[in-house]
């Protein structure tokens, strides 16, 4: 876990220690302190309501001001200061039910949720999907992300990189579970919008109908604002519509999720370019009180090589993909060279293939391991027959009679840059070669096109040519104007744009309500406390991440049908059961330490708890070694480790994973529960030197005392009990 500098937790520790020490001599002062402690514990355990923080403050003020005792006054003042200095954190605990430091153990968020730029409550919705409650899962997701179906197909899934299960074998397939649930909910007509707040009578204008703009629109509409989105393209979606090809993200998926926004009352003005068709002053005159700029990064970088501007067959990847997405489905040429190694380059290459180009070669100046494109995308492209020419530096676009004939390239070698460990490609002298081509597509990156914002003189820009914005509140240098998405981050991911849009919506609401903006990054909100799924340890270990079925290769090379065919229902339910429920188990390792160091058993092999140096994990080992003493469960701060007696058995489970299950033994005399055989053996071995056994009878402590009294022997303690 992370550091434990949580002001809520520190205040609790300090106050508890003061009360325990007896330093508060005056009864009224002690009573006040205990009441404050109760309220603080409510905050730390996720039980607090909206008035808790003010109630704590009020009681602390009473202590600080009205009690004629220095200690009480100091304690009251320290609590008041703690709340005043960290009000945002106290209130965040109440609102989000998450403590990002993990110090308030019941509120420690799962790493996957903390990682998600939009803060999706992944453990909750994965568990709901495991239970077959897909529509509820989508309801949970849509509290933090309006586009679960889109994200289920194209998210770069940072959550999976932080997934703790990945330290055991492979991460939970969070993305595809989400896609399944969204598709199912949509198909069964259970995909619904949350309740909308009453109309606030204020209007917000959003410029750009991409993921950031539409996310902000969704949350603002839910809060009761009138929202209009200005979009220069004839359709909604931004980069997810015109930058991502249909074989990865079908148009229907975008259309259906956009329709949910329209259902909330969000209005779109398509084919309307800001700065050209409409100005800021005109929009202000229309009654808009705040503005959100999410214009994306749609301008391609230039290659800066000879011939780049001399032939119409030299295309910019963003323009090419956009035209194809909008219906201009003509192949760029028969022999196409795509320059670049990122996802956009792969998309351009695979799109050319589907449009009928015969030979597609990607020219990339570095090696395969440096390619920024997703490994799955690269593999799929190569399967489809796309060639990748590595260590290839474009030097000149060749042509004659106004037509491209090829790309002159220079072979590169990777060398370490002087003064750093960075490897850079350097041309190899005399290694020129020609790749024949009749079309060249440049895909070396994008930047923000700020022509449309030139009239905003006070808007500041970063040296990276992005809009300067506070990344917590998304405020720009102009009051009332907010910005997020690629326009702020530079070309980034869909889920980052969605997270930015959500943050901006909250900030716009604060701005229009006259509430100060937050100073710290938002903490994701825990949307539910779903009980875990029970599963035997063996099943938990042997379940593997499912393999994704893909469309047959011929259809992939000729059509824009979706390549990834999705998981079956059985795959989805099983995959959800692999989740370790890190929202409940905080991986503090106390169970492992106690079992190993105090009990000397070493029955818990959970190498995944270490972030930096994970070791092997095997839940099945526990059944071989565990004596079911319960020390681990008794010391688990979150009750993730649980020991229960049921149906004549004692069961030890960790977040629903049944680690051990043994038959219980009962007192031969009165029938009281004695424990399991291994535990009784353990105690017998520990006590054999200090006492006789009770005539091989299994007796509880009370019955043993009785027998001892009757027989006149020394007291013999039965296994499982101490003096």
Partner 1 sequence: MTFRRGQKVEVYQKSQDEMWQSYMDEFVGIHGIVTDPDTNINDPDALVEVSLNGKGTFRLPQDCIRLLEE
Q: Which residues bind partner 1 (CB under 8 A)?
A: 1-3, 100-102, 111, 114-117, 156, 158, 161-162, 301, 340, 342-343, 366, 369-370, 372, 374, 420-423, 444-446, 462-464, 468, 470-472, 489-493, 496, 519-521, 524, 611-612
Q: For residue 272, which of 262, 264, 282 has the smallest C-alpha distance?
A: 282
Closest to partner 1 by CB, 245 or 720: 245
Residue appearing with tokens 């205990």: 34
Q: What DSSP letter does each residue of 71-114 carry, written as one string?
A: HHHHHHHHHHHHHHHTHHHHHHHHHHS--TTS-SGGGPPPHHHH
Q: Minimum distance between the CB of residue 97 and partner 1, rounded to whole angstroms? A: 16
Question: Which C-beta is closer to partner 1: that of 189 or that of 463?
Answer: 463
- Of 81 and 88, nearer to partner 1 (C-beta) is 88
When the beta carbons of 524 and 718 are compared against partner 1, the nearer one is 524
Long-range contacts of 272-277 (CB under 8 A, 24+ apart): 272/230, 272/231, 272/232, 273/232, 273/452, 274/207, 274/230, 274/232, 274/452, 274/453, 275/451, 275/452, 275/453, 275/454, 275/455, 276/452
**Which DSSP helix (H) or strand (E) runs through 343?**
helix 343-355
Between CA 647 and CA 714 the distance in angstroms is 35
Question: Are the C-beta atoms of 481 and 511 separated by less than 8 Å?
Answer: no
> Which segments within 92-236 are labelled E, that is strand?
203-207, 226-230
User: Smaller CB distance to partner 1: residue 25 or 460?
Assistant: 460
Least distance to partner 1, CB of residue 416, Å: 11
Residue 520 CB, shortest distance to partner 1, in Å, is 5
Matching residue, tokens 């800001």 = 274
- Torsions phi, psi of 254, nearest 5? -65, -45
H or E stretch covering 427: strand 423-436
Minimum distance, C-beta of residue 114 to partner 1, in the bound complex (Å): 5
Q: Which is nearer to partner 1, 342 or 399 (CB)?
A: 342
Nearer to partner 1, 490 or 528 (CB): 490
Cα 580 to chain centroid distance, Å, stands at 15
Q: Report the nearest approach of partner 1 to the CB of residue 347 (Å).
A: 12
CA torsion sign for 249, 252, 254, 256 is negative
Question: Structure tokens of 334?
Answer: 């028969």
CA 705 from chain centre, in angstroms, equals 57
* Shortest separation between residue 463's beta carbon and partner 1, angstroms: 7
* Least distance in angstroms from the C-beta of 462 to partner 1: 6
Of 130 and 500, nearer to partner 1 (C-beta) is 500
Q: How many CA atoms lie within 13 A of 323 on its CB side?
A: 13
Q: Find the angle CA(611)-CA(612)-CA(617) to the nearest 5 degrees.
A: 60
For partner 1, the closer of residues 445 and 675 by Cβ is 445
CB nearer partner 1, residue 56 or residue 378: 378
How near is the Cβ of 646 to partner 1 at its closest, in Å? 36
Nearer to partner 1, 63 or 523 (CB): 523
Least distance in angstroms from the C-beta of 469 to partner 1:
10
In the complex, the smallest distance separating the C-beta of residue 374 from partner 1, rounded to whole angstroms, is: 8
- Beta carbon of residue 260, minimum distance to partner 1 (angstroms, whole number): 26
Query: How far, CA to CA in Å, does 115 sit from each of 485, 499, 635?
Result: 17, 11, 28
616/612 Cα distance (integer angstroms): 13
Closest approach, Cβ 473 to partner 1, in A, equals 11
Residue closer to partner 1 by CB (options 444, 541) is 444
Determine phi and psi for 152, rounding to 5 degrees: -65, -20
Pick from 188, 488, 226, 442: nearest CA to 319: 442
Considering the complex, state which of residue 440 and residue 535 has its C-beta at the smaller distance from partner 1.
440
For residue 58, the minimal CB distance to partner 1 (Å) is: 29
Beta carbon of residue 94, minimum distance to partner 1 (angstroms, whole number): 19
Q: How far is CA 152 from CA 156, 404, 439, 458, 502, in A?
A: 10, 39, 33, 39, 18
Q: Pick between residue 422 and residue 663 the one whose CB is nearest to partner 1.
A: 422
DSSP string, 564-595: B----HHHHHHHHTT---TTT-----HHHHII
Distance CA 328, CA 339 (A): 21
CA pair distance 63, 57, nearest whole angstrom: 10
27-44 and 7-21 helices, crossing angle to 10°: 150
């Amino acid at each position: 876990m992370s550091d434990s500098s949580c002001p809520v937790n520190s205040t609790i520790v300090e106050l508890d220690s003061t009360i325990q020490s007896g330093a508060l001599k005056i009864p009224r002062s002690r009573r006040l302190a205990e009441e404050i402690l109760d309220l603080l514990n409510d905050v730390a355990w996720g039980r607090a309501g909206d008035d808790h923080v003010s109630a704590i403050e009020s009681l602390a003020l009473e202590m600080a001001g009205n009690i004629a005792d220095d200690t009480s006054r100091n304690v009251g003042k320290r609590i008041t200061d703690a709340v005043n200095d960290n009000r945002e954190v106290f209130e965040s605990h109440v609102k989000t039910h998450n403590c990002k430091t993990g110090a308030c153990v019941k509120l420690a968020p799962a790493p996957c949720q903390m990682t998600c730029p939009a803060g999706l409550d992944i453990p909750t919705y994965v568990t709901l999907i495991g239970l077959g409650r897909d529509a509820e899962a989508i309801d949970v997701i849509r509290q933090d992300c309006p586009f679960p179906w889109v994200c289920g197909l194209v998210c770069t899934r940072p959550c999976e990189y932080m997934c703790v299960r990945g330290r055991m074998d492979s991460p939970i397939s969070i993305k595809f579970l989400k896609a399944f649930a969204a598709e199912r909910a949509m198909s069964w007509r259970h995909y619904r919008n949350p309740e909308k707040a009453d109309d606030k009578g204020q209007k917000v204008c959003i410029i750009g109908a991409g993921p950031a703009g539409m996310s902000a629109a969704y949350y603002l509409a839910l809060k009761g604002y009138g929202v209009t989105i200005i979009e220069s393209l004839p359709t909604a979606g931004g980069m997810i519509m015109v930058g991502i090809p249909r074989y990865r993200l079908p148009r229907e998926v975008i259309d259906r999720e956009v329709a949910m926004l329209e259902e909330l009352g969000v209005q779109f003005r398509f084919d309307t370019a800001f700065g050209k068709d409409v100005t800021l002053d005109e929009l202000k005159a229309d009654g808009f009180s705040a503005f959100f700029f999410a214009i994306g990064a749609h301008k391609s970088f230039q290659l800066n090589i000879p011939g780049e501007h001399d032939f119409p067959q030299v295309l910019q990847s963003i323009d090419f993909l956009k035209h194809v997405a909008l219906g201009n489905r003509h192949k760029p040429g028969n022999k196409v060279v795509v320059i670049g190694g990122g996802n956009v380059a792969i998309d351009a290459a695979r799109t050319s293939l589907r449009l009928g180009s015969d030979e597609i070669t990607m020219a990339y100046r570095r090696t395969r391991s440096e390619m920024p494109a997703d490994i799955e995308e690269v593999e799929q492209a190569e399967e489809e027959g796309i060639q990748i020419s590595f260590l290839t530096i474009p030097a000149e676009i060749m042509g004659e009679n106004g037509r491209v004939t090829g790309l002159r390239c220079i072979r590169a070698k990777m060398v370490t840059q002087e003064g750093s460990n960075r490897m850079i490609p350097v041309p190899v002298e005399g290694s020129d070669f020609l790749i024949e081509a009749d079309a060249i597509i440049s895909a070396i990156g994008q930047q923000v096109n700020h022509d449309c914002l030139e009239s905003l003189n006070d808007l500041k820009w970063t040296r990276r040519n992005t809009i300067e914005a506070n990344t917590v509140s998304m405020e720009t240098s102009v009051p009332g104007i907010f910005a997020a998405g690629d326009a702020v981050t530079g070309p980034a991911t869909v889920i980052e744009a969605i997270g930015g849009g959500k943050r901006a919506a909250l900030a716009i609401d604060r701005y229009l309500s006259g509430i100060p903006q937050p100073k710290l990054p938002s903490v994701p909100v825990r949307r539910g406390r779903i009980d875990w799924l029970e599963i035997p340890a063996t099943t938990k270990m042997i379940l593997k991440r499912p393999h994704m079925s893909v469309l047959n290769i011929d259809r992939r090379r000729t059509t824009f049908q979706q390549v990834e065919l999705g998981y079956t229902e059985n795959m989805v339910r099983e995959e959800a059961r692999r989740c370790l429920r890190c929202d409940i188990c905080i991986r503090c390792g106390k169970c492992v330490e106690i079992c190993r160091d105090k009990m000397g058993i070493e029955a818990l092999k959970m190498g995944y708890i270490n972030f930096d140096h994970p070791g092997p994990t095997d839940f099945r080992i526990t059944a071989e070694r565990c004596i079911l003493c319960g020390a681990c469960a008794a010391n688990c701060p979150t009750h993730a480790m649980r020991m229960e007696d049921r149906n004549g058995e004692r069961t030890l489970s960790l977040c629903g994973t049944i680690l051990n299950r043994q038959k219980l033994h009962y007192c031969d005399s009165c029938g009281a529960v004695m424990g399991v055989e291994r535990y009784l053996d353990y105690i017998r071995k520990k006590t054999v030197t200090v006492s006789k056994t009770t005539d091989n009878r299994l007796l509880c402590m009370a019955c043993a005392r009785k027998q001892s009294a009757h027989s006149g022997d020394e007291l013999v303690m039965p296994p499982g009990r101490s003096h």
